[in-house]
């Protein structure tokens, strides 16, 4: 197995200004364009951790609660929360900033799962991810529950085998 790495080594940050081509008919960032940015930021983070080609296996539910207007600067911060065997969960935080107005809000948080693959697209083992800060440790612990939930929803795990999930409900 590759040598363990700290989750902080997987940090990927990307800022860009929202331009007319990114927007919907109301002049705000289109959800699909945001998802593209989230996917790319997450993939860079997953590559930093695994030093491999990665493919997106799943994206957890994402809500769009705040619009991001034309001219705002959007910043995506992506970091691996936990590595499993060949897959890893990445959290992407999205911030929207109106620099002239001096405002900055967090608009979205997304959890994605990437799988490291070889040149033929076959899943390949990755390094363990070591959390260091309090937030990293909390995300690491909860990642197991999120993994079981998405595997159950994706039909890859039987609900009765999802022990971490069952424990939350005292089952
Ligand atoms: C960056 C991009 O946008 S890439 C383009 C979009 N993505 C793609 O094209 C990916 C297409 N899908 C695939 O290539 C395959 O389905 C793969 C590589 C994701 C999985 O391949 P499989 O043959 O199913 O492999 P396998 O069953 O061994 O699973 C491999 C890992 O993927 C995980 N996985 C598979 N499907 C999912 C899913 N829907 N959600 C979360 N994890 C998943 C498994 O839990 C396993 O993780 P682990 O090794 O850490 O325990």
Question: What is the per-residue pLDDT across 20-46, written as a single tens digit (0 to 9) for each?
Answer: 999 999 999 999 999 999 999 999 999
Give me the mean pLDDT over the 126-147 stretch: 97
CA distance 37 to 82: 21
- Out of 35, 83, 115, 143, mutate this one to test ligand 1's pocket (max ligand atoms within 8 Å of CB): namely 115
Cα separation, 86 vs 70, whole angstroms: 39
Choose among 91, 61, 76: nearest CA to 18. Answer: 76
Domains of the chain: 5-130 (3.10.129.10)
The predicted-structure confidence for 3-22, as pLDDT tens digits, reads as follows: 999 999 999 999 999 999 99
- pLDDT (tens digit per residue) in 84-106: 999 999 999 999 999 999 999 99
Whether ligand 1 lies within 6 angstroms of the CB of 57 is answered as yes
- CB of 22 sitting under 6 A from ligand 1: no
* pTM of the predicted protein model: 0.95
Whether 165 shows a pLDDT value over 90: the answer reads no
ipTM for the assembly: 0.95
What region does 115 belong to: left with phi over 0, alpha with psi -120 to 50, or beta? beta
Q: Which residues pair with 53 in a beta bridge?
A: 117
């Amino acid at each position: 197995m590759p040598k363990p790495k700290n989750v902080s080594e997987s940090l990927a940050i990307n800022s860009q200004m929202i331009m007319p081509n990114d927007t919907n008919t109301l002049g705000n960032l289109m959800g699909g364009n945001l998802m593209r940015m989230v996917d790319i930021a997450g993939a860079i983070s997953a590559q930093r951790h695994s030093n491999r080609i990665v493919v997106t296996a799943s994206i957890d539910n994402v809500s769009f609660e705040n619009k991001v207007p034309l001219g705002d600067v959007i910043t995506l911060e992506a970091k691996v929360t936990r590595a499993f065997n060949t897959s890893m969960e990445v959290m992407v935080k999205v911030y929207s900033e109106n620099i002239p107005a001096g405002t900055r809000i967090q608009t979205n948080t997304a959890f994605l799962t990437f799988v490291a693959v070889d040149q033929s697209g076959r899943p390949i083992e990755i390094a363990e991810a070591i959390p260091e800060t309090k937030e990293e440790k909390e995300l690491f612990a909860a990642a197991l529950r999120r993994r079981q939930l998405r595997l159950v929803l994706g039909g890859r795990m039987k609900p009765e085998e999802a022990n971490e999930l069952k424990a939350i409900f005292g089952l």
